[in-house]
A and B are shown apart, each in its own frame.
Chain A
Amino acid sequence: MQSLTFVCALLVVLPLVMVFYHLLREGFSSLNWNFFTQLPKAVGEKGGGMANAIVGTFILLIQAALLGVPVGVLGGIYLSEYGGTKLNWWIRFAADILNGVPSITWGIVVYALMVIPMHGSSALAGGVVLGMMMIPLVMRTTEEVLQLVPAGYREAAYALGIAKWKTIVKIVLRTAMKGIVTGVLLALARVAGETAPLLFTALGNLGWTHHLTEPIAAIPLQIFNYAISPYDDWHRQAWAGAFVLLMLVLAVNVGVRFLTRDRLAKPNSRTL
């Protein structure tokens, strides 16, 4: 019984170990300076890099954060600090359901919403789709960390005659800041690896994007396109891209663990 469940735990861990091993073997060896500084080469030419996709991913994430963080954090404040139980129950419920909506669905929704009216895929549409996906994630984690702030902090502020909104902004938010930042970073790490919603919105780009209304490259899109191509050199690029992307995602995930060793700053990982 004990050994059987132990074997199951090993089976769970095994894939991650295997993915790590192969990413290190295939991905790390394909990494070089050019990968970070050069544009993709044309079919058949060896070498080149993913500079545009790396920059593209960061541009998409900045846009996503601009949409997802204010809406998510302010909405989370409402859920934690205001509101009747009934309305809040429905908002929470809807947010949890939204977290389960398949990412490809978000992609075609934003396609209908932005790409068709704007007559083409754009970096903007890619940023919006990732931002939309961040909203329920950030809202739920923000609410959870705000609830960990002891009620006494709020009461002390009220006793001093401080207005409720000032109490929230200056005391509650400040106390929970680490946890909110953690939630935002985890949400960003999560959408950074999203590919499906970008397929029709950001579309991908083999060159630089000079304007947000143009299609833009992103690391996960590039990995996908290279992985399903028939060229060995592109496969190597895909492994290198995957290595960089995974390091990025894991760095955030491991990093926040060190940031948040105290209880006050730890949002629920389940909602992510």
Chain B
Amino acid sequence: MNEAGTTLKPASRQFGDRVFRWLTLAMALAIFVLVALIGSELALGARLSMHQFGWHFLVSNDWDPVNDFYGALPFIFGTLVSSAIALVIAVPISIATAVYLTELAPQWLRQPLVIFIELLAAVPSVILGLWGIFVMVPWLHIHLFPWLRTTLGFLPFFQGTDYGPCMLAAGIIVAIMIIPIITSVAREILRSVPGLQREAAYALGATRWEVTRIAVLSYAKKGLFGAVILGLGRALGETMAVTMVIGNAPQIVASLFKPGYTLASVIANEFNEATGQLYPSALFELGLVLLGVTVVVNIFAQLLLKTFAGPAVKPQH
């Protein structure tokens, strides 16, 4: 260190500093290059389809490669419905688990559980998909679906026969994938709630449940909402596991026992076989729609998380 300091003349030191600064700046700006690349390449690829179908693309129900006519509605529907199912399942479980981890669990159990949940987040999508096809879907088909049909069959969502792969199966597998994300972000949010907040509620004679509900949960509402929206962003773009269990049929039906199709999975399945000019372009446009939706959702999530308690939500491991 000493030698480095004494052998360098001020001029060369300034030069070295300048070079290093510009080099690192250029690499940091690569982020913007990536953003520009994603936007421009997708828009360029989708140009033909946008020109051909205009806004009608978004509301048209037909996906007909044979006659070269394309509409995105069944895929938008499938993406929204599978994500909605996932949220309905994942949100209560994740928030409750985060509460358990920060407020209620015995100390010795917290760390192992957190590690377990982080490991679940690391399981690749394709592996969950494989497990989904061969283990989860057959189990749902034999056990859960018949039970839902008999108990909740008066609702249009749970009517009709199923062949295994379906919208509900996709929603469940997506829920499994986003639960660790929502749980770990929600846990960080809850940990950032000041201890004083809890103590004040205890001092007023609140029970443990009241403290959690009033002092912790309602204080952290905004951050928790951010965690949920972050999970939604992941759910919308989830590809492999969904493709493997959703059944891949572009249709809009009320029954969750019927196959569906999502934006991400139709791209995954059909892009390599898309011939001609218009077909790949329509798939690019689906990609553009997916990008637009996920970016908007993620911006919303990041703003919620960033404005909630600011840097306090940063890691405190």
Give A residues with C-beta under 8 Å from B. 1-2, 4-6, 8-9, 11-13, 15-16, 18-19, 22-23, 26, 70-72, 74-79, 81-83, 91, 93-98, 100-109, 111-113, 132, 135-136, 139, 144, 157, 160-166, 168-171, 189-190, 192-196, 199-200, 203, 220, 223-224, 227-228, 235, 238-239, 242, 245-246, 249-250, 253-254, 257, 263, 266-270, 272
Contact = CB atoms under 8 A, between A and B. Distances in A.
Interface stretch (B19-27, B65-73, B151-159): B19-27
Contacts of B212: 1
Nearest to B299: A97
Contact of A196 (B5, B34, B240, B294): B240
Interface stretch (B119-127, B141-149, B249-257): B119-127
B24, B32, B272, B302 pick with most chain A CB within 10 angstroms? B24
Interface string B88-119: 00001110110111001100000001011111
A8 B185 CA distance: 16
A268 B317 CA distance: 8
- Helix, strand, loop or mixed for chain B's interface? helix
Given A102-B238, A165-B21, A270-B188, A196 B125 contact: yes
B200 interface: no
B164 interface: no
B314 interface: yes
Contacts of A22: 131, 134-135
B229 to A, nearest CB: 10
A13 B264 contact: no
A19 B294 contact: no
A195 B41 contact: no
* Size bracket, chain B contacts: 35 or more
Interface SS of A by simple majority = helix
Given A77-B24, A270-B315, A199 B31 contact: no
Contacts of B180: 12
B179 A12 contact: yes
Contacts, number: 296
A108 B287 CA distance: 8
Contact of A104 (B17, B119, B208, B267): B267
A9 B124 CA distance: 21
A195 B240 contact: yes
Contacts of A223: 126-127, 130
A36 B5 CA distance: 52
Contacts of B317: 263, 266, 268
B144 to A, nearest CB: 14
Contacts of A11: 93, 97
Given A112-B41, A163-B17, A102 B290 contact: yes
B127 A23 contact: yes
B284 interface: yes
Given A168-B20, A270-B188, A250 B28 contact: no
Interface of B: 1-2, 4-6, 8, 13, 16-17, 19-21, 23-25, 27-32, 34-35, 37-38, 41-42, 44-45, 92-94, 96-97, 99-101, 104-105, 113, 115-131, 133-135, 176, 179-180, 183-185, 188, 208-209, 212, 230, 233-234, 236-240, 244, 264, 267-268, 271-272, 283-284, 287, 290-291, 294-295, 297-299, 301-302, 306, 314-315, 317
Contact of A97 (B115, B117, B179, B295): B295
B118 A109 contact: no
Given A199-B268, A253-B118, 15 more contacts: A8-B96, A13-B116, A22-B131, A97-B299, A102-B239, A108-B42, A109-B41, A160-B1, A161-B6, A162-B5, A163-B17, A195-B240, A199-B271, A220-B124, A227-B130
Nearest to B14: A163
20 contacts: A12-B97, A13-B116, A16-B119, A18-B135, A22-B131, A75-B31, A78-B25, A81-B24, A91-B29, A98-B38, A100-B297, A102-B236, A108-B41, A112-B42, A144-B315, A161-B6, A165-B20, A224-B244, A228-B244, A239-B130
B232 to A, nearest CB: 10
A191 B119 CA distance: 15
Contacts of A228: 133, 244
A220 B119 CA distance: 18
A162 B4 contact: yes
A194 B5 CA distance: 46
B45 A108 contact: yes
Nearest to B181: A270
Contact of A195 (B17, B96, B99, B124): B124
Nearest to B207: A1
A108 B264 CA distance: 11
Nearest to A132: B34
Given A12-B93, A19-B131, A270-B184, A75 B28 contact: yes
A257 B284 contact: no
A193 B177 CA distance: 14
Contacts of A101: 38, 237, 291, 294-295
A3 B15 CA distance: 64
A173 to B, nearest CB: 11
B119 to A, nearest CB: 6
Contact of B27 (A18, A71, A111, A235): A71
B264 A100 contact: no
Contacts of B184: 269-270
A95 B5 contact: no
